[in-house]
Structure 1
Amino acid sequence: MKKLIITEKPSVARNIADAINAKNRKDGFIEGDDYVITWAFGHLLQLYDVKDYNQELKGWRLEYFPYIPNEFKYKIKSSDRNREQIDAGAKKQVDIINALLLREDIDGIIAATDDDREGQIIFDEIALYLDIKKPIERLLLNEWTNDEVKKGLQSLRSNTEMGSLQDAGFGRQLADWLIGINLTSVATVKYRADESIKVLNVGRVLLPTLKIIYDRDKEIEAFKETSYYKLVSEFKTKEDSLFEGVYQENESEKFETKDRLELLQKELAEKEARITSKKVEHKKEYAPYLFNLSNLQGYITSKYKGWTSDKVLKTAQTLYENKLITYPRTASSVLDESLIEKAEKVLNAHKKGRPFESDIVFHTSKRVFDSKKVESHSAIMPTYVLPRNMNSDEKIVYEAVVNRFLAQFMPVAEYEETELVIKIDSELLEGVFLSKGKVELNDGWKKVEKITSKEITLPHVEDGDTVFVHKSSVNEVKRKAPKYHSEKTLLREMENCGRKYKEDDAEEMMLAVLSGFSIGTPATRAETIKKLKDVGYIEIRGKSLACTELGKMMVEKFPVKELFDLEYTGKLEKTLADIEKKKFSKTDFINMMIEFVIKSVNDVKGAAGFGAHTAIPDDVEVLGLCPECNSPVVESPKAFGCSNWKNGCKFTIWKDDKYIASFEKQVSPEMVKLLLQNGRVGFRGLKSKKGNKFAAYFYYGKDENTGRYNWKMEFID
C-alpha cells in the first residue's frame, strides 16, 4: 500500500520526490515505491460568488445586499483571463487528485502544503471538496532539504490536530469574502459616477493600508516650512588642531530666531574657552537581527532600484522551493532553540573560504536563539544546500539572507565615542558648546554587510585644557517635511499596526512578539501594496507611495470608518491569531463579521455619494435635503428629486404619484418641503373610497428589504 502526498506546488513535489528517490513521473503526479506525490497550484478552489448561490442576483443592485450565505460553498477556481470560465488547469489537477484518491492501493493521505494557516486551508479545501474519507496526516517542515523531508515523514501528525489552524485560515477567508463581496458590490453601485471606474475595491487589509499612506500624504500637505538656527564655533587647540562645537542652552541647540545668536557670535570673537568635561565611552554595536519577511522586503526595496515587496516575496519563495532558504513568510526575527544544532551545521557550510572565516564563531546567544520570541515560524536563514545556478535577482535576496545569518556569529562592532563640553567665561554665554567624536575600534560584523562607519576624530585634549575660538557662524536649518512612505516604511507600519516606532533593538524585538496585532500577515502585505496600485488607489513615484484622487475619495467619503481604523483592523488580525491559539472560536468570529457587514452595508446605502454634488443654479429653489445622501432636493418637470443623482442617489418623489392621486391630492413643492423638514406631511379633507372625509399624516419611508421608498399613512384622530 502507498500514501498519497499532496503539496502546494509542483516544485515542492519534486523536492520530496528527490528526497525519497521517487522517479516515475506521470501527468500530474510522481510515483515511488511507497509514496505517490501530487500537487496543487496554490488554491485550486474558491468560494462561490453571489450569483452561484442564486442566478437572479447576477447583476449588482443595492437591494441584493447584504448577502450572507446559509452555507459557504466551494468551486474550482475561475480562469484569470475570463472570470466566467473554469480554470482548465485547475480542473485537470483536481480530477487527477480525485482519481489518485480513489486508487485502491492508496490507503492514506499526507498533507504537505506550507506550514501556515493559508497552506493548511489550501489542502483542507481539497479535502472538503473531494470529501476525502481516507486517514489524513500532516507533514510540517520549515525547509525542503532532503534531510528534513526524510525526518518529517518519520514524524507525521494527524491532520485533526490542525483544527485551530484550519479554523483561523477559514475564518480569514470567510471574513474577507463577507467584507469584500458585500462592500465592494454596494460601494461600486452606490458611488460609481464615472464610467471609467469599473470597481471600487473594499477589503479588510486594503483600506487600513490605504489610510496609512493617506495620513502621511496629509502630513506632507499640511507641512509649513520653518527654520531654526544653530551657533557653530570652530575651536583651535594650542597645537593648532581644529574641531567644531555646537552651542546649547537647556540641552537644546535649536533657536527659533537668530538675533540673539548673532549677538553671541560677536561676543565669541577671539575668546578663550575651557574644556569643562571630557567623557569617553566604549560602545558596542550588535548585528541587526535575522530577517523576518517584512524586514527583508524593507531592506531590499530600500537598497536596490526597481524592487517591490511583492518581487522580494516571490524571489524568496523561489529560493525556499529550491531548498536554499527556510520558510520566508515569517514574522519572527530569531530562531527557535530546537534549531541550534542545525544552525551550526549551516554556519559551517557557509563560512568556508570567506575572507573573515577566522572571525566567525558559533554561539547560542538569545539574540539569535530564543523560543519565547518565535511566532509560528523562526526567522529566515539559509539551509546547508549551496547554490549552483541563480539568476541576478535570486543572488540579491540570497546573499542578503546569508550575510545577515553570518553577521550573527561575527564579533560585535566596537567604537569609542568622545564628548567634550566647552565653556566660555562670559555673562552673555549662559550655555555651553558640545562636541562629539566617534572612532571605530573594530568593525566586526560590518565586514559581512560591507558597512562603513563615518568617523569624526577629535584632537587630543583633556578636561581643564584651554582652547581658542577660531571662527563662528550662525547657521539656518530648514525643518524637513515628512517623507512619503516607501515600501520599507509602509511594511513596518503595517507590521506595527500604524503605531510609531524607532529603529532600535528593543523595538525590533517587540515586533518579534506582537502576537498577530498587525495589519495583514507577512505573506499578504506585499500583495496588498500591489493591489492598492492595481485598483488605482495609490501611485508609485520612484520609491515613494502616494494616494491617487480615487484613493483620497475612498478615505474621505467611504462611510465604514472601522475599515480605516488601524487599531480595529489590528484587533481582527489578533483575533485570527487567537483562533489559531484556541483562545477564540471561529463561529463567534464569523458571527461578529456578519453583524459588522450587515451594519456596514446599510451605512453605505444611506451615505452621501463620492463626487461633488451637482451645482444648483441661483434661480432654482432648494426644497430640502435628501434623506439618502444629504444633498439638495430640487424640482424637475416630472418629479422632485435628489440633485446628486449622477453619483447614484435615486431618491425621487414623482409629481403624478398614483397613491397621492388616489386621495385626490397632488405632490406640490410645499408638500415636499414639509415632508423633508418634518419627516411627514398632514392633509385634511381627504376622501375615502366610501366618500367619508378624514385627516392623516403621510410618511415617505424606505423599505429596508427592497431599498425602495413607499408611502405610509397614519390617521389623525
Structure 2
Amino acid sequence: MKLILTEKPSVAKNIADALKIRTKKDGYFEGNGYIITWAFGHLLQLYDAKDYHPKMRTWKMENFPFIPDKFEYKIKSNIRNKQKSDSGAKKQMSTIKRLMNRKDVIGIISACDFDREGQIIGDSIIYNNQTKKPVERLLLNEWTPKEIMNGLQQLKPNEQLKPLQDAGVSRQWADWLIGINLTSVATLKYQKGKGKALNIGRVLLPTLKIIYDRDQEIAQFKSERFYRLEADFKSKSGEAYTGIYQFDKKSSFKDKELLHKWKEQIVGQAAEVVNVETSVKKEFPPFLFNLSNLQGYITSKYNGWTSDKVLKVAQSLYEKKYITYPRTSSIALDESLMRKTEDVLNKVKQGLDYEEEVRFSRSKRIFNNQKVESHSAIIPTYIVPKKLTNDEDKVYQAIKNRFIMQFMPISQYEENVIETKILIPEMLGTFLSKGRRELVKGWKKVEQIKSKEYFLPDLQKKEQVMVKSSQITEHDTEPPKPHSEKSLLNMMQTCGRKSSAVNEEEILSGFSIGTAATRADTIKKLREIGYIKIDKKSLFCTELGKKLVETFPIQSLFNLNFTGKLEKALADIEKEKVRKHDFLSFIYDFTEKSVNQIKNGEEVTIHETVQMDRKKQENLGKCPNCGHPVIEGVKGFGCSNWKQGCKFVIWKNDKYLLSMKKKPSKTMVKSLLKNGKVLVKGLTSKNGKKFNAYLSYQKNKENDYFSWSMEFMK
C-alpha cells in the first residue's frame, strides 16, 4: 500500500478517479493498493516571532533584528483568531500522520504541484511527521487520467527534488526575515498611532516603485504641439489618395508657419510619383499563454477582472483537468509533447467552421526546449468541458483559441507604399502614402480579428498627378498611460524593462519581480494595505504609497535590479548554481544592516493613524452558541466572544438571504436571537414571486457553523 499526498482535495479526487477508487473515508480515499489524502495548500506555517521567545510578544525596537537560530513550523493559524490553530488543518494533519504511520503503508508519494511552493507544501508535511519510509515524487503538468497513470509509472525519488525544496525554503525564510524585521521596525519608527502595520516586503516595494515611477512620469510630463501637412492627390484616371509630407525622415514639425506657406502654394500644382513599392508581409499569431500574459489578456479585455481572479479561475480549470498547469513562465511547449499536443488539437478543433485549416505543425515557434523552464505554456487538455461557469468559459476559450491559432495559416497582407513629389523646385521632401490589403486571414479567424485596410490606387513610377487640396493637422504629444494590471504584470515579468529589450531566455532565467504564481497576489496585497488604488483599469499610488517610496531609507528594496538578482538567485538554487546557505547568509546580513539603518536614521512620520473613539456596541441578544452578547460588526452580526473561538455570525452579505434578495437587519437579528425564529416578509423566489416565511438559524450537527432553515406560514 502506498500513500499519495496531494495539495488539494480536488486533485486527490482526480487521482482516485484515474485509479478507479470509489471508497472515500474521513480525509482520504482508499483502494487498489493506494491511500490518497490531501492538504489544503499550506497546512503548516513558519512560527511567528512571538512563538520563539516571550519578549517578541510586543514590538520593541531593541528586540530587532530578530533572526531565529532554527526556523520552526506549526499548524497554520485560524483566520479569525491568530492565537489558535485552524481546526480543519489540525484535523487533516492528524489524519495524514495516522495514515503515514500505518503498518501497511510502505511508501509515500508527494503529488503536490510541481513547483517551488508545491514542493515545500509536501515536504513540510511529510518530514515534519518524521517518517522513515521512502518518499517519491509524482511530477505532472495536468491531472487527466492518462497523465496520472503514466506519471505513477515514472516516479522520482524525492531526494532528487532537494534543489527545488532548497529554493522554496530559501524564498520562505527570506520573506519572513525581511517582512517580520523591516515591517516591525518601520512601523515603530515611521508610524504614529495604532493601526495597520507599514508592510515592507521584498516583492511589494519594487512593484510599488514601478507604479510610483509611472505616476511621476505623468505628473512631470509637458505636452508639446506639433503639426503635419497632408495633401490630397488625384490621378489622371480620377483616383484619389492622401499623402503626409516628410523631409529629412521627419513627418512632424514644430514650425506651423513654414508648413502654412507650403499649404497655400501646393494646391493645384502638378506632382509626380517618384517611388512605388509593393511587398507581402506575414503576421504570426501571438505566442501561447504563460500565466502573466493570460492575466494581462483577460484583465484588459473584460471589466472587473483582476490578475488574482484570473489565476483562481485558471487554477479551477486545471484542477478540473481542462487545462495544463497555469503557474508557468513559458510561452512554448516541450518538444517531447508533440504527439500529445497533436491529439489535443484533433479534439478541440472538432466542429469549428475553419476545422480544415487547422493543421498540426512541429514548428520551433511552438515546440522549443530552450524556451521551457519546468512547465510548458498553458494549453487545453484532451478533456473537452461540457459545462463551465461564465468566468471559466472566458478563460478557457482564451486558452483554447490561443492554442488553435498556432496551427492556423499565417496571416498575410500586402503593403503598398507610394512616394509623391510636388513639382515645385524649392520644395524639398516628398509625400508618403501607405496602403494595406489583407491577403490571408489565417489565424485571425479564430477570434474574428479585423485587419485595418487602406487601399491605394494602382499607380506607376513617374506617373503625373495633381494636388486637389491640402490641410495642416495639429497634434499634441501625449503622456504615458497609467499602469494597468496588464502593463504592470509585464513590467514585473521583465523586471521593469520593455519587452523588446528582454528575450525569453532571460525571463526564464528568473530575473524578474516575483514569479508567475505570486505576482497577482502582490498586486492584490498592495491594494489591500492601501499603497495603491485602482480607477477603472488604471493603477495609481496612494498618498501613503507615495510617501513610503520617497521616505523609506532602504532604497535597495525599491531597486528593480536588486530584486531581480534575488529572484534569479532563487531560480539558480533550483539549478544548483547557487547554494541555499550562501543566499540565506546574504539575507541575514542584509536584514541586520537594514534594521540598524532604520534605527539610526532620521526621525520622520510616513503614516499617522487616526484613533476613532469606540462607541459602546449594542447587545443584540445572547449568542446561541456560548451565551455571550451578539454585536454588530462591519461585515456581520457576530458573537463578541469570537477571539476565544466562537463561530456564531450572520454575515451582512449572507448568500442564502441574498438569493432571496434580502439582507439581515439589526431588528431581524434581535428577533431571531430572542425567539429562535423570525418572520421575514418580502422574500423573493427564483421565479420572482414575493412571499413571507419564518427563518431560523441552527447549528450544524457535523461542525461548529450555523445554517438557515425555512418554515412557511400556515
TM-score range relative to shorter protein: 0.7 to 0.9
1:252 shift after superposition: 1.0
Residue of structure 2 equivalent to 1:541: 535
- The answer to whether 1:599 aligns with 2:593 is yes
Q: Provide Cα deviations, 1:114-167, integer angstroms capped at 9, x if missing partner.
A: 000110000111123211211100000000000000000011000000010000
1:428 shift after superposition: 3.5
1:607 shift after superposition: 2.2
Residue of structure 2 equivalent to 1:30: 29
State the AA in 2 paired with 1:605: K
1:191 shift after superposition: 0.9
Q: Provide Cα deviations, 1:351-403, integer angstroms capped at 9, x if missing partner.
A: 11100001011010001000111111100000000102210000000000000
Q: 2:203 touches 2:514 (CA, 8 Å); kept in 1? A: yes
Residue of structure 2 equivalent to 1:369: 367
Rounded to whole Å, the distance in 1 between the matches of 2:545 and 2:513 is 18
3-state DSSP of counterpart to 2:470: strand
State the AA in 2 paired with 1:165: L
Residue of structure 2 equivalent to 1:420: 418
How many correspondences in the alignment? Answer: 608
- Where in structure 1 are there 5+ consecutive unaligned residues? 615-717
- Where in structure 2 are there 5+ consecutive unaligned residues? 609-714
- The answer to whether 1:528 aligns with 2:527 is no
Q: 1:315 touches 1:394 (CA, 8 Å); kept in 2? A: yes
1:510 shift after superposition: 2.6
Residue of structure 2 equivalent to 1:286: 284
State the AA in 1 paired with 2:309: K
Residue of structure 2 equivalent to 1:92: 91
Rounded to whole Å, the distance in 2 between the matches of 1:26 and 1:316 is 29
In the superposition, the TM-score normalised over structure 1's length comes to: 0.84
Q: 1:231 touches 1:261 (CA, 8 Å); kept in 2? A: yes
Query: Counterparts of 1:309-320 in structure 2 under 5 Å?
Result: 309-320=307-318
State the AA in 2 paired with 1:117: R
Query: Counterparts of 1:104-183 in structure 2 under 5 Å?
Result: 104-183=103-182
Q: Provide Cα deviations, 1:411-466, integer angstroms capped at 9, x if missing partner.
A: 00000000111111224421111000000011100000221011001111111111
Rounded to whole Å, the distance in 2 between the matches of 1:473 and 1:420 is 19
Rounded to whole Å, the distance in 1 between the matches of 2:503 and 2:188 is 45
Residue of structure 2 equivalent to 1:59: 58
Q: 1:278 touches 1:421 (CA, 8 Å); kept in 2? A: yes
Rounded to whole Å, the distance in 2 between the matches of 1:384 and 1:7 is 22
Residue of structure 2 equivalent to 1:234: 232
Q: 1:346 touches 1:384 (CA, 8 Å); kept in 2? A: yes
1:612 shift after superposition: 8.1
1:239 shift after superposition: 2.1
Which of 467, 473, 476 aligns to 2:474? It is 476
3-state DSSP of counterpart to 2:595: helix
Query: Counterparts of 1:454-603 in structure 2 under 5 Å?
Result: 454-502=452-500, 510=504, 513-603=507-597
Q: 2:494 touches 2:507 (CA, 8 Å); kept in 1? A: no
State the AA in 1 paired with 2:605: G
State the AA in 2 paired with 1:538: I
State the AA in 2 paired with 1:263: K
Rounded to whole Å, the distance in 1 between the matches of 2:305 and 2:597 is 39
Residue of structure 2 equivalent to 1:209: 207
Which of 280, 301, 304 aligns to 1:303? It is 301
Rounded to whole Å, the distance in 2 between the matches of 1:278 and 1:49 is 73
1:613 shift after superposition: 12
3-state DSSP of counterpart to 2:499: coil
Query: Counterparts of 1:395-406 in structure 2 under 5 Å?
Result: 395-406=393-404
Cα gap change, 1:233/1:584 in structure 2, threshold over 3 Å: closer, same or farther?
A: same
Rounded to whole Å, the distance in 2 between the matches of 1:237 and 1:88 is 83
Rounded to whole Å, the distance in 2 between the matches of 1:430 and 1:62 is 73
Cα gap change, 1:610/1:241 in structure 2, threshold over 3 Å: closer, same or farther?
A: farther
1:605 shift after superposition: 1.2
Q: 1:9 touches 1:40 (CA, 8 Å); kept in 2? A: yes
State the AA in 2 paired with 1:105: D
Query: Counterparts of 1:368-387 in structure 2 under 5 Å?
Result: 368-387=366-385
| Structure possessing the higher radius of gyration over alpha carbons | 1
State the AA in 1 paired with 2:246: Q
Residue of structure 1 equivalent to 2:258: 260
Q: Provide Cα deviations, 1:590-622, integer angstroms capped at 9, x if missing partner.
A: 0000000000011111222443899xxxxxxxx
- The answer to whether 1:276 aligns with 2:274 is yes
- Greater shift, 425-434 or 164-173, is seen at 425-434
In the superposition, the TM-score normalised over structure 2's length comes to: 0.84
State the AA in 1 paired with 2:168: G
The two structures, once aligned, show a CA RMSD in angstroms of: 1.3
Rounded to whole Å, the distance in 2 between the matches of 1:422 and 1:386 is 56
Q: 1:45 touches 1:76 (CA, 8 Å); kept in 2? A: yes
Rounded to whole Å, the distance in 2 between the matches of 1:186 and 1:124 is 32
Rounded to whole Å, the distance in 2 between the matches of 1:513 and 1:274 is 50
State the AA in 1 paired with 2:510: G
Q: 2:226 touches 2:252 (CA, 8 Å); kept in 1? A: yes
Residue of structure 1 equivalent to 2:636: none
Residue of structure 2 equivalent to 1:44: 43
Q: 2:166 touches 2:580 (CA, 8 Å); kept in 1? A: yes
- The answer to whether 1:9 aligns with 2:22 is no
3-state DSSP of counterpart to 2:192: coil
Q: 1:496 touches 1:511 (CA, 8 Å); kept in 2? A: no
What percentage of residue pairs aligned between the two structures are identical? 55
Q: 2:290 touches 2:330 (CA, 8 Å); kept in 1? A: yes
Q: 1:225 touches 1:478 (CA, 8 Å); kept in 2? A: yes
Cα gap change, 1:489/1:610 in structure 2, threshold over 3 Å: closer, same or farther?
A: farther
Rounded to whole Å, the distance in 2 between the matches of 1:286 and 1:500 is 20
State the AA in 2 paired with 1:574: K
Residue of structure 2 equivalent to 1:247: 245
Q: 2:236 touches 2:465 (CA, 8 Å); kept in 1? A: yes
State the AA in 2 paired with 1:531: K
Rounded to whole Å, the distance in 2 between the matches of 1:481 and 1:444 is 36
Q: Provide Cα deviations, 1:530-569, integer angstroms capped at 9, x if missing partner.
A: 0000010000000000000000011110111110000000
State the AA in 1 paired with 2:225: S
Rounded to whole Å, the distance in 1 between the matches of 2:238 and 2:506 is 51
Q: 1:228 touches 1:254 (CA, 8 Å); kept in 2? A: yes
3-state DSSP of counterpart to 2:136: strand
- The answer to whether 1:219 aligns with 2:217 is yes
3-state DSSP of counterpart to 1:106: coil
Cα gap change, 1:508/1:362 in structure 2, threshold over 3 Å: closer, same or farther?
A: farther
Q: 1:375 touches 1:512 (CA, 8 Å); kept in 2? A: no
Q: 2:78 touches 2:84 (CA, 8 Å); kept in 1? A: yes
Rounded to whole Å, the distance in 2 between the matches of 1:84 and 1:233 is 76
3-state DSSP of counterpart to 2:594: helix
State the AA in 1 paired with 2:513: I
Q: 1:373 touches 1:512 (CA, 8 Å); kept in 2? A: no
